[in-house]
C-alpha cells in the first residue's frame, strides 16, 4: 500500500505492507483523515519530545526506533471495513464505513495508531483497527464530517471534565481546531456566553460561525476580562488551547476568583505560574487529553444530528503526495484550519 511516511522535515510516499489484522481486529481502507495539531507538534518537535520523555524516566527506545523507521501518522479518520481478522464477531460487514478511537489492541493493551511501526496511522491507504472500538458511520454523515469525530471527541471530553453547572461564562483561548470544536460543543449544550480569543482574524470569524457569542483580538484585549464583563458575577470556565509559552501564568493572573482553567494546548517546554495568585483566588486547574468511548460516540451523534456546525472547520484536502505542503500550509491560520488527507486521491 502507499503511505505518507515522515522522513525528517518532509513526508515521502512509500510502499508499505498492507496490515494483516490480528485477533479481534479488522483491515480497513482509509477514506479520509484530518491533520491534527498533535501531528504538527510531533512533526516539528519529535526529537525534543523524545528527549523530554527520556528525562522523565520513560523508556524511549520504541519511540526512537519508530522515528528512525519512519512513522505513518494520522488518527482523525473515517474508514471502510475490508476484511476481518480471527476472533472477530463480524457484527458489521465489509464495506461499512466506520470511525474509531485511534487505538489498536496489542497484547490486551491499547496502542495509539501511528505511534509504532506495527500500528500505522491513517496517512496510508489501509490500516488495522480493533473491532470492539468501531462505530458505524450513519449514511447521512459524510466522510468529511466523520473525519472530525476525533477532535470533537476531545472537545466533548474537555467540556465534560469541566463539570459545568450551566450558567458559566465560558472563555475559549486559542481558536485552532480544538478551540473551535469546544466553542461548538458549548453552544450545543446551551451556554449563552462563549467568548473566544485568537490572534488571527480568520480564526475569530470561524469561532463566531461555530458558536462563540463574542470574539476578541488577543493582541489588544483580554478575552477573560471580556467574558467577566459580559456576565458579571457568574462563574468562569477558561479553556486554554494554545500551548503558548507563558499562557498558564497569564491566565492565572487574569482569572477571577473561583474560576477553573482547562488545558488542552500542548506546551513544548516547561511552564510556570504564580501559585500565590492561584491559591488566593482558589482556582481549579485541569489538564485534558483524549476521551472516553461514550464521549467519542457523543461527538458522532452531535455531528449526525446537526447540533454542531462542523463544516467551516474544513478548509482543504490533499492526497498522500500533498501532506508535506499541507503541514506547511497549516502554519498560516489565515489560510487553513483543518486539512483532510485522502489517501486514494492523486
- Express each pLDDT in 162-187 by its tens digit: 999 999 999 999 999 999 999 999 99
pLDDT band, very low/low/confident/very high, at 234 (cuts 50, 70, 90): very high
What is the C-alpha to C-alpha distance for residues 75 and 38, in angstroms, rounded to an integer? 10
pLDDT recorded at residue 117? 87
Percent helix, percent strand, percent coil in the chain, to nearest 5: 35, 25, 40
Mode of pairing for the β-strands spanning 25-34 and 76-84: antiparallel
| Alpha carbon 288 to its chain's center | 11
Q: Comparing C-alpha atoms, which of 145, 229, 209, 211 is closest to residue 172?
A: 211
- 277-305 pLDDT tens trace: 999 999 999 999 989 999 999 999 999 99
Q: Which three cell numbers stand for residue 260?
A: 477553573
Per DSSP, 307 falls in state -
Q: Which three cell numbers stand for residue 292?
A: 472516553
Give the residues across from 214 on adjacent strands: 195
pLDDT of residue 12 exceeding 80 = yes
Rounded to 5 degrees, what are φ and ψ at 210? -90, -15
Tell me what percent of the residues of the chain surpass a pLDDT of 70. 100
Least confident stretch, 52-61, 81-90, 266-275: 266-275
Amino acid at each position: 500500500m502507499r503511505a505518507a511516511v515522515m522522513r525528517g522535515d518532509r513526508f515521502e510516499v512509500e510502499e508499505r505492507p498492507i496490515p494483516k489484522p490480528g485477533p479481534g481486529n479488522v483491515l480497513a481502507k482509509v477514506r479520509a483523515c484530518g491533520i491534527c495539531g498533535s501531528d504538527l507538534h510531533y512533526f516539528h518537535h519529535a526529537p525534543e519530545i523524545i528527549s523530554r520523555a527520556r528525562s522523565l524516566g520513560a523508556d524511549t527506545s520504541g519511540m526512537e526506533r519508530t522515528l528512525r523507521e519512519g512513522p505513518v501518522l494520522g488518527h482523525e479518520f473515517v474508514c471502510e471495513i475490508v476484511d476481518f481478522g480471527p476472533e472477530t464477531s463480524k457484527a458489521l460487514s465489509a464495506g461499512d464505513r466506520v470511525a474509531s478511537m485511534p487505538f489498536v489492541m496489542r497484547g490486551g493493551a491499547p496502542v495509539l495508531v501511528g505511534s509504532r511501526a506495527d500500528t500505522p496511522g491513517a496517512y496510508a491507504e489501509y490500516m488495522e483497527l480493533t473491532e470492539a472500538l468501531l462505530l458505524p458511520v450513519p449514511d447521512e454523515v459524510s466522510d468529511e464530517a466523520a473525519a472530525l469525530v476525533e477532535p470533537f471527541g476531545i472537545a466533548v471530553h474537555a467540556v465534560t471534565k469541566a463539570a459545568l453547572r450551566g450558567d458559566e461564562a465560558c472563555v475559549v483561548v486559542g481558536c485552532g481546531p480544538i478551540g473551535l470544536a469546544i466553542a461548538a460543543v458549548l453552544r450545543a449544550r446551551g451556554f449563552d456566553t462563549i467568548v473566544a480569543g485568537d490572534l488571527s482574524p480568520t480564526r475569530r470569524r470561524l469561532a463566531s460561525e461555530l458558536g462563540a457569542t463574542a470574539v476578541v483580538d488577543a493582541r489588544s484585549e483580554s478575552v477573560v476580562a471580556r467574558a467577566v464583563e459580559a456576565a458579571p458575577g457568574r462563574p468562569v470556565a477558561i479553556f486554554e488551547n494554545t500551548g503558548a509559552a507563558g499562557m498558564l501564568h497569564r491566565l492565572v493572573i487574569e482569572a477571577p476568583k473561583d474560576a477553573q482553567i482547562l488545558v488542552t494546548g500542548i506546551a513544548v517546554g516547561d511552564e510556570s505560574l504564580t501559585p500565590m495568585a492561584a491559591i488566593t483566588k482558589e482556582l481549579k486547574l485541569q489538564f485534558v487529553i483524549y476521551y472516553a468511548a461514550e464521549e467519542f460516540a457523543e461527538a458522532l451523534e452531535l455531528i449526525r444530528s446537526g447540533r454542531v456546525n462542523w463544516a467551516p472547520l474544513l478548509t482543504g484536502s490533499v492526497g498522500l503526495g500533498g501532506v508535506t505542503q499541507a503541514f506547511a500550509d497549516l502554519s498560516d491560520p489565515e489560510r487553513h484550519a483543518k486539512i483532510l488527507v485522502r489517501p486514494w486521491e492523486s
